[in-house]
Structure 1
Amino acid sequence: MSSKDADRITAAQQTLDTLFDISQLLNTQLDKETLATCVGMIEGGVNPEALAAVIQELRREAAGLGGPDTR
């Protein structure tokens, strides 16, 4: 791996860490892996508002089923 690649990986990790900190402050209840998946989907063109709506709906359904994810 080149130093340029290592720098990109480090920058991406720092960005994800910062986004996770913001996510925690906003009480999104997203773990780092889920947040990274969401960021990747948004970078791939998914509408962020639509993604947020889907996450909220999944949480409502999980809560309604009495499942373990009652956020």
Structure 2
Amino acid sequence: MPPPAGTSRQRAAKDVVDVLNEISTLLHTGLDRTTLSLCVSLIENGVNPEALANVIKDLRREAQALEETDGH
């Protein structure tokens, strides 16, 4: 008896996140598995990947600026 369809889809999704996590680690993106999963979900739902990347970069810059401000 084959596994339920939902199970194979979940396994495929996990495999994709595993590969993306490996690539993310190799490229030193600083994105964890949860963040990668959220990004994939957003892109699958129509978010422009370049716009998403720009938002992530902007958020990182803002976080860095806040850390520098709080540190002084």
- TM-score above 0.5, yes or no: yes
Give the whole-Å Cα distance in 1 for the aligned partners of 2:41 and 2:4.
23
> Is 1:8 paired with 2:13?
no
Match of 1:35 in 2: 36
Aligned to 1:56: 57
- Give, as a single letter, the amino acid of the residue that structure 2 aligns with 1:64: A
Residue 67 of structure 2 aligns to a residue whose secondary structure is: coil
Q: Distance in 2 between matches of 1:56 and 1:43?
A: 20
Which residue in the other structure is 1:26 paired with?
27
Deviation at 1:3, TM superposition (A): 2.1
Q: Unaligned 5+ residue runs, structure 2?
A: none
Q: Which amino acid aligns with 1:12?
A: A
Percent identity over paired residues: 52
- Corresponding residue of 1:17: 18
Unaligned 5+ segments in structure 1 are none
Which amino acid is the alignment partner of residue 45 of structure 2? Answer: G
- What is the alpha-carbon root mean square deviation over aligned residues? 1.3
TM-score by length of 1: 0.86
Q: Distance in 1 between matches of 2:39 and 2:58?
A: 15
Q: Which runs of 4+ in 1 moved over 6 A?
A: none
Match of 2:19, SS? helix
